[in-house]
Amino acid sequence: MKYVTFLIKEESKTFPLYLCTMVETRQDIRKLTKQELKEFFVSQGDKAFRANQVYEWLWQKSATDFAQMTNLSKATREMLEQHFTINNVEIGGQQKSSDRTIKSTMRLYDSNIVEGVLIPTTHRMTACISSQVGCSLSCAFCATGKLERLRNLDASEIYDQVVLIKNQAEQEYDQPLTNIVYMGMGEPLLNYSNVLQSVEYITSPEGLGMSPKRITVSTAGIAKMIRKLGDDEVKFNLALSLHAANDTKRNEIMPINETNTLEALREALKYYFAKTKNPVTYEYILFYNFNDSLEDAEELYQFTRHLPCKVNIIEYNPVEDTPFSKADEGTLDKFAAYLDKRGVTVKVRRSRGKDIDAACGQLAGKTK
C-alpha cells in the first residue's frame, strides 16, 4: 500500500495544523496478468483488446504513468487512473566510479531502498540488480548480509531496475544493455516466483525481448530451489556463490551451508544440469590465508569436476567489520593457474566500483 501524508490547516490557535495520512487503495496495475486486464476492461463495458495495448505500454515501453499511454482515449486513461496505480521504482541518487561503474540507489514505492549497478566494460554493459530489500543469509564477508531482510521485491520492481540501468547505459555511454546479473542485494532463490516472473518480463517479445542467455541468476546455494530451476527448465544461466569447497570452511563463512551441504548442492546441480543442459558458473572469492592455498584449489577442482562449468575467481572487496582481506596477486595467480592446469575453465574477475562501494559484496545502501 502507498501512504500519502498531507497537512490540514486548523483555525485553532492551539493546534494550527496537523498531519493526516491516507492509505492508497488503488491496486498496482502491474500485478494483473493480461487475462485479468482483459476481464477488467470487459467489466467496464470496454473492448478486451485494450488489455493488449496497456500490456505493451507496461512491459515493452516501460510506462510509468497512464498519461503516457497516448493510443488510449483520455477517458480510458482517466478510468485507469481511478482504479489503478503504477508503483514504479525511481533512482534516488547515483555515484560514478573512476572506472565508469555507476551505482544507483533505487527508491521503492514504500520508501525502502535497494541498490543496482551498471558495470561497463569494453564489450559489455552489465546490470547488477537486487531481488530483496536486505538479505537473511548473513554471509560473514558480505555487507548486504549484515542487513535485515525486510521484504521480497515484486517482479515489476526487479524489472524496473533493469529499465533504469538500461537507460543509464544508453544515456551515459551510448551503449545498449547487454547482460543482467541477479547478484545485488538479496538471495534470488528465496524470492523464486518473482525472480522468474521478472525474467519473463525482461525476455518476452511482449517485454524487453532480451535473450535469457544474457541473464545470470546467482545463489548462495539452496539445494531444493536449484532442483526446482531444473524442473522448470529455465533458460537463463545459474551461478553458485561457493567460496569454499569443504563444509567446515563454508559453514564458517556461509551459514546457509549448514542446511545445504556441499554434497546436497552437488547433487542438486547435477539434477539441474541433467534437466537444462546449462553449464554452471562457480563464484569463488579468494580470502587471504583462508581459502587461497593450493589444497583449497584442489578441493575446488574436485567439487567442480562433476559437470560442465566455469569458475570465476573473484578479488575480495573490503567490507567494514569483517575479519577478511584479499589474497595477494601472486597467490591469486597461482590459484587460478592450478585450476587451469587441471582443465578447469577459469577466469579472474577484477573488482569494479570499489571506490563507491559498488563491487561484489559491498551493496548495503551506503553512499559516500
Asked if residue 179 lies in contact with residue 221, where contact means CB atoms within 8 angstroms, the answer is no
Alpha carbon distance 286, 243 (integer Å): 7
**Segment 206-222 mean pLDDT:** 98
**Domain 90-356: which topology?**
TIM Barrel (3.20.20)
Stretch 67-95: mean pLDDT, rounded? 96
Taking 80 as the threshold, does the pLDDT of residue 50 lie above it?
Answer: yes
pLDDT digits (tens, 9 = 90+) for 103-129: 999 999 999 999 999 999 989 999 999
Domain ranges of the chain: 2-85, 90-356
Has residue 318 got a pLDDT over 90? no
DSSP letters spanning 205-263: TTTT---GGGEEEEES--HHHHHHHHHTT--SEEEEE---SSHHHHHHH-GGGGTS-HH
What values do phi and psi take at 12, rounded to 5? -60, 135
- DSSP H helices, the chain, are 34-43, 50-59, 74-83, 155-173, 192-203, 223-231, 247-253, 262-276, 294-304, 329-341
User: Burial, 1: exposed, middle or buried (Cβ in 10 Å; 0-12, 13-18, 19+)?
Assistant: exposed
User: Do 145 and 137 contact (CB within 8 A), yes or no?
Assistant: yes
Can 2-85 and 90-356 be said to share one CATH topology? no
Residue 342 neighbours by CB under 8 Å, 6+ apart: 298, 301, 305
pLDDT number for residue 361: 47
What's the pLDDT at 106?
96
Evaluate whether 120 touches 173 at the Cβ level (below 8 Å): yes
Q: Give the span between the Cα atoms of 277 and 308, in whole angstroms.
A: 9
14: pLDDT strictly greater than 60: no
Architecture of domain 2-85: Orthogonal Bundle (1.10)
What is the set of active-site residues?
Answer: 115, 360
> Tell me: the pLDDT tens digits for 152-207?
999 999 999 999 999 999 999 999 999 999 999 999 999 999 999 999 999 999 99
**What is the pLDDT averaged over residues 86-96?**
95
Answer whether residue 2 shows pLDDT above 90: no
Pairing of strands 125-128, 113-120: antiparallel
Look at the block and give the residue holding cell 498519461.
67
Average pLDDT, the chain: 90
Question: d(Cα 124, Cα 182) in Å, to the nearest integer?
Answer: 16
